[in-house]
Structure 1
Amino acid sequence: MEELKQETLRRRTYAIISHPDAGKTTLTEKLLLYGGAIRLAGTVKARKANKHAVSDWMEIEKQRGISVTSSVLQFDYDGYRVNILDTPGHQDFSEDTYRTLMAADSAVMLIDVAKGVEDQTKKLFKVCRQRNIPIFTFVNKLDRFGKSPFELMEEIEEVLGIRCYPMNWPVGIHGNYVGIYNRREGQVELFDKDGGHGKTIRSSSKASLDDPIFRETLGDEVFQALKDDIELLDMAGDAFDMDQVTAGELTPMFFGSAMTNFGVRNFLEEFLRLAPPPVARQASIGEVNPVEQPFSAFVFKIQANMNPAHRDRLAFIRICSGKFTRGMPVFHAETGKLIKLAQPQQFLAQERNLVEEAYPGDIIGLFDPGVFGIGDTLCAEGQDFKFENFPVFPPELFAKVQAKDSMKRKQFVKGMTQLTQEGAVQVFRQPDSAVEAFIIGTVGSLQFEVLEYRLKNEYGVDLLIDRLAYSVARWLIGEEQDLSSLKGIDSGMVIRDIQDRPVLLLSNEWSLRWVEERNPDVKFLVVPQDARRV
């Protein structure tokens, strides 16, 4: 029990969220650099660069310079075991990000110093607030000219409704920053010039703000500006309150540049000191304590073909309580069967290591023969409960998809089935269609492009994609005779989901209200009643 407690307390499992292009994948990689997990940082700036971010493993990500899947990365630093969940920033992949946030104990919100709070940041921040998880803010790209620190503080507080407490403060004026001031330690850290373009750890020197050599090095104007800023923060700013941070009401704020390794180490060390270890999780039996309960976990992500040569399929689980050991039998709540977990793995992008044991907060990958679904619960033999349901989002864009070559039918069906189980898209069918085709529902148009790319490159199938003029989907509940004689759906389409439940597609909300008024005996649900496995 003491070993379990100690191992749990040193875990830090967090997700990094941001608007696209705020530098999220770059920050993730630099944390790996400082954590000693990699020796040389790559870059995601150039689409055809020879090196790519360690967390971007899918070929399309390397080509486009964006993240379209959540990556799971782990390293050790100063006695902590760190699990990073790097999520897609693009709004078209927000479902994957939402599911990943379910597996995190805290979140790092990345803000572009020039752009401030952007639309996607607002959406992801809202999800974090709903879960009441601590949110840490990293203001990035300090190597470029942007908004003033005070302006950014005010914007975060007004737009997001969360108070800020700067843990450090940039040293410099007019966007020309040379270091950071650590408020807790009362120290200035000045960075040497970055001669390696951020590929290696950046050297620096530290001393007290009162050290005369710093005033001489900085110059009177910069030194006085820093003194005035610190005095203003101490007098008019919020006091640091860890209880408010834990409740998601106050965000510790850091300044730096992931690209040039400016302030990254300071952020990493302070974040690990403040971020929470794994906490209790809600389940059908009440709260599941990470230390007091036997083993339990849930599936938050499924990914096919991480290794194209082996055509494997992995289910990523977040351990919530107890100790995991390789080969242990676990109870799969959804099927009611015992499953032996023989080849659990942990990841550094595509590099895999076999796991002998793991603890609450850890993320491990399990080979999946097709039995797992997103949101499934695994628990120790003799236990039987389920963790809280994952949020499910109704699709807003639709298309009919079929294989160009009818001889590729088997590969087409297999690919579509696997990508559906990943949660990448939602798949439906037309009951009376004579053509082997699927109706695809997504929350963003870029998902169609990724679907087409992956079917071609992973399954050898070229697609015909015919976009449909629908934007509203509703699951139908009612008597069979009422469903078979729906009134007012001439401009809509009735399809079936993978569990054979009827779904109505309509062009807009006005059409939906029209149909609802004419079918009072039918319920129109935004998401299915059994929303755990759609």
Structure 2
Amino acid sequence: MRTLNLGILAHVDAGKTSLTERLLFDTGAIDRLGSVDSGNTQTDSLELERQRGITIAASVVSFRLGDLVVNLIDTPGHPDFIAEVERVLQSLDAAVVVVSAVEGVQAQTRVLVRALRRLGVPFLFFVNKIDRLGARPAEVVEEIASQLSVRPVIMSAAVEAGSRHARAEPNDFAQEPHFSALSEALAANDEALLDDYVLAPERLTVERLRKALATQLAEGLLHPVYCGIAMTGVGVPGLITAIETLLPAKAPAPDAPVEGRIFKIERGWGGEKLAFLNLTSGTVAMRDYLVLPGGAAKVTSIQLFDQGRLEKVDQVTAGRIAKVGGLAHARIGDWIGVGGKRAGAFHFAPPTLETLVRPRRPSDNTALWLALQQLAEQDPFINLRTSDDASEMFVSLYGEVQKEVIEATLSADFGLEAHFEQSTVICVERPLGTGTGIEILFREPNPFLATVGLRIEPRPAAAGNSFALEVDVGQMPASFYRAVEEAVAETLKAGLFGWQVIDCHVAMTAARQTSPASTAVDFRRLTPLVLAEALSSAGTVVCEPIDSFRLEAPASVLTAIHTLLAKSGASTTDSIIEGGVARLAGTIASANVQGVQRQLPGLTSGAGVLENSFDHYAPIAGTQPSRPRLGANPFDRANYLRSLR
């Protein structure tokens, strides 16, 4: 049996969920076709998804194509829910990127394709909605090539696009000019094929070209493009054939040691934790003990995604995706198995907004805290921050739609009415130089039975944080070093000005214990003071998030648009006027994006469109903004030690 984890990715409203529904129907996994408008699709199962007509949470369904089992994962298209896509990407074998034939390549399309290429996930395109008024499939293929820096290979042609008679005709690669076009595209990456194309064309067959296409697709060199109409099924049979014959499926080993990854957490009807497990190797049965980073746990229930349904089973084998109960300490990104792998680096930017959440009834404060903790468990990017007494609770956001969804979820699922303050931008801090700190055992003013020395230094932008030991690791128990590393990570969440410290390297330069009196707690409590000293020595600069933007508006209002962007501090790097339409690109501070979005409709009579996405962090000149601390402050020694007592 072969298996394929297939992601369906797109910008919002490109037709992603409709395509998922059509694939399930056409392959016989479901016998009734649902629709987004009717709110009865297989994958949009949340009440909020049905009300809003958008995908909020990633959903899994499964269907079969001969000996191939396809685990189909439908992901959100709205940028406010990019964290859901982040959790899915590392479990994918391949992806279908859906692009609207009317809107073409959009902001989220670019973000998704960049992430797929970074991860090395093979993908193909489906140009949807070729029947819509204004459909321009040929131009969209050109946009795919120019804006996404990929090499598309047209696999089907749209006929009578933009009308209700639109249809998709598959290219016959046994005939010209399709045979030569495919041969030339493949020959650019295959010298043997190029030689035969030039010197011995009789050696080239359609079968050989298809095998070469599958190979180059798997290597990310070429990307087939199909077109059609997901709602009616036009062009979908060709896509199904490509899924079965072109995309790189796997032959997993059910008898090998157990390995897999948890990519999603949700709660059952009784509040029990359910982990979405992508099992890559071995077999997991009821009552088995699984090894996770948080410790071993016993499997109490297994629900398998199969043929469009979720079924209770006694075991799950490699290559399948299941909901597993009993893993109380499981976290998103955990790997199961003796290998104990951890989650890889994030491939999307973190949230850039934050909001203060308060219960409308003060008596609900504890209930709200518990509810937000549960939501943060399901979405770690929410990054719940609370004061010691939980009187203040902050959540991180990608956008205002996500805020509305959290508010509605609290009301519908927990019966809580909450008030969200106006969103503010989340800044970060970067070290300005190298700094050191040390506290020595039995030497004042160190009150702990431990010696800790640390050095912090800057790393390149977007490099992330790292930690290393520059001491003899054999002189103390491993738990002591682990306590230091964990305390460093926690302390870096609030630097000199209260913002998270990023792009830095921390090295432990000194360590000593007194046996048997010293404990891991001594090292855990001393580390924040030492790191605060090192950070103060190095100094930090506060950096604000900067977005890249693309703006499209009538050329007649270009002067007014330039004035608006200038007042907002935007920097324009590209400006094109074509067919009475002005297209601008550049960068703008994330804090100023909403102001532009509010004024744009009035300036352009509703014709202006602004797309934006996080690009980088830039230092703030002048007075450095600060963020209130919610916990113990190691930069104030007396306050910190008092909080521990």
TM-score by length of 1: 0.73
State the alpha-carbon separation in 2 of the partners of residues 28 and 478 from structure 1.
54
CA distance in 2, matches of 1:445, 1:424: 18
Relative contact order higher in (CA < 8 Å, ≥ 6 apart): 1
Maintained 8 Å contact 2:356/2:421: yes
Tell me if 1:296 matches 2:267.
no
Which residue does 1:275 correspond to in 2? Answer: 247
| Equivalent in the alignment of 1:437 | 392
My pick for the range that moved more, 350-359 or 240-249, is: 350-359
The yes-or-no answer on 1:130 pairing with 2:90 is no
**Residues 3-42 of structure 1: pairs in structure 2 closer than 5 A:** 7=1, 10-42=2-34
Distance in 2 of aligned mates of 1:349 and 1:448: 34
Q: Provide closer, same or farther for how the CA distance between residues 410 and 515 of structure 1 changes in structure 2, counting only shifts above 3 A.
A: closer
Partner of 1:361: 319
Q: Retained in 2: the 8 A contact 1:471–1:505?
A: no
Q: Deviations over 1:388-416 (max 9, x none)?
A: 52417432101111222232234212211
Match of 1:69 in 2: 57
1:452 and 1:262, CA in 2 relative to 1: closer, same or farther beyond 3 A? same
Q: Given that residues 143 and 260 in structure 1 are in contact (C-alpha distance below 8 angstroms), is that contact kept between their aligned partners in structure 2?
A: no
1-side partners of 2:162 and 2:401: how far apart? Answer: 38
Query: SS in structure 1 opposite 2:42?
Result: coil
Query: Kindly tell me: are residues 368 and 117 of structure 1, through their superposed partners in 2, closer, same or farther at Cα, counting changes over 3 Å?
Result: farther
Q: Which residue of 1 aligns with 2:219?
A: 247
Aligned residue number for residue 257 of structure 1 = 229
What aligned pairs does 1:278-357 form with structure 2 within 5 A after superposition? 278=250, 293-304=256-267, 307=269, 310-332=270-292, 334-335=293-294, 337-347=295-305, 352-357=310-315
Residues 423 and 174 from structure 1, CA distance in 2 versus in 1: closer, same or farther, beyond 3 angstroms?
closer
> How many corresponding residue pairs?
441
Q: What residue in structure 2 maps to residue 451 of structure 1? A: 406
Q: 1:14-413, aligned counterparts within 5 Å?
A: 14-45=6-37, 49=38, 51-172=39-160, 179-183=167-171, 230=178, 233=181, 241-278=213-250, 293-304=256-267, 307=269, 310-332=270-292, 334-335=293-294, 337-347=295-305, 352-368=310-326, 370-379=328-337, 383-391=338-346, 393-413=349-369
Secondary structure in structure 1 of the residue aligned to 2:241: helix
- Given that 2:98 and 2:126 are in contact with CA atoms closer than 8 Å, whether structure 1 keeps it comes out as yes
Alpha-carbon distance between aligned partners in 2 of 1:505 and 1:398, rounded to the nearest angstrom: 20
Given residue 263 of structure 1, which amino acid in structure 2 is its aligned partner? G
Does residue 426 of structure 1 match 2:394?
no
TM-score of the aligned structures, taking structure 2 as reference length: 0.61
CA contact (8 A) 1:322 1:360 kept: yes
Which whole-Å deviations, capped at 9, do the CAs of 1:284-311 have from their partners, x for residues lacking one?
A: xxxxx85784110111111235x4xx33
How many angstroms apart in 2 are the aligned matches of 1:480 and 1:368?
Answer: 43
Shift of 1:446: 1.8
How far apart are 1:475 and its partner, in Å?
8.9
Q: 1:260 deviation in Å?
A: 1.0
1:505 & 1:57 partners in 2: Cα distance?
45
Partner AA of 2:283 in structure 1: K
Q: Which has the larger radius of gyration?
A: 2
The structural deviation recorded for 1:176 is 6.4
Gaps of 5+ in 2: 188-208, 440-455, 457-490, 502-523, 545-617, 626-645
CA contact (8 A) 2:129 2:135 kept: no
> Distance between the aligned counterparts of 1:506 and 1:368, measured in 2?
43
- How far is 1:93 from its partner? 0.6
Aligned 8 A contact 1:54 1:348 in 2: no
Q: CA deviation at 1:250?
A: 0.8
Deviation at 1:318, TM superposition (A): 0.9
- Shift in Å at residue 266 of structure 1? 2.3
- Quote the Cα distance in structure 1 between the aligned partners of 2:334 and 2:400: 28
Kept in 2: contact 1:404–1:463 (CA 8 A): yes
- 8 A Cα contact 1:425 1:447, kept in partner: no
Q: 1:435 to 1:182 in 2, by over 3 A?
A: closer
Distance 1:183 1:350, change over 3 A: closer
| Aligned partners of 2:541 and 2:624 also within 8 Å | no
* Counterpart for residue 461 of structure 1: 416
Q: 1:205 aligns to what?
A: none
Separation in 2, partners of 1:34, 1:57:
20
Q: Could you say if the C-alpha distance between residues 475 and 31 of structure 1 is closer, same or farther in structure 2, counting changes exceeding 3 Å? A: farther
Establish whether residue 511 from structure 1 lines up as the match of residue 620 from structure 2: yes
Partner AA of 1:22 in structure 2: A
For residues 349-384 of structure 1, give each alpha carbon's deviation from its aligned partner in whole angstroms, at most 9, with x where no partner exists: 9953113333333111112564111111111xxx34
Name the CA shift for 1:395/1:326 in 2 (closer, same or farther; >3 Å).
Answer: same
| C-alpha deviation, 1:150, in angstroms | 3.5
Give the deviation of 1:488 after TM superposition.
7.7
Q: Is the 8 A contact 1:125 1:160 kept in 2?
A: yes
- Secondary structure in 1 matching 2:365: helix
Report how far residue 420 of structure 1 moved. 0.6
Offset at residue 348 of structure 1 (A) = 7.2
Deviations 1:218-276 (A, max 9, x none): xxxxxxxxx8x747845865565333211112111111110111121221122121111
AA matched with 2:383: V
CA distance in structure 1 between the partners assigned to 2:89 and 2:113 by the alignment: 10
Q: Is the 8 A contact 1:488 1:514 kept in 2?
A: no
Residue 467 of structure 1 aligns to a residue whose secondary structure is coil
CA separation of 1:132 and 1:429: change in aligned 2, threshold 3 A: closer
Larger CA deviation: 93-102 vs 344-353? 344-353
Structure 1: gaps (5+ residues)? 1-6, 187-208, 210-226, 280-288, 517-534
Q: Which amino acid aligns with 1:26?
A: S
Task: State how far apart, in whole Å, the 1-side matches of 2:394 and 2:287 are.
Answer: 39
| Aligned residues with identical type, % of pairs | 26
- Secondary structure, counterpart of 2:70 in structure 1: strand
Distance 1:479 1:146, change over 3 A: farther
Q: CA RMSD in A?
A: 3.7
TM-fit CA distance, 1:422: 0.9
Q: Which amino acid aligns with 1:160?
A: L
C-alpha change, 1:348 and 1:465, in structure 2 (3 Å) is farther
1:475/1:355 CA distance change after superposition, 3 Å? farther
1:412 and 1:349 map into 2 onto residues whose CA distance is: 38
Could you tell me whether the CA contact under 8 Å between 1:298 and 1:375 is conserved in 2?
A: yes
Q: Which residue identity is paired with 1:164?
A: P
Shift, 1:97, TM fit: 0.4
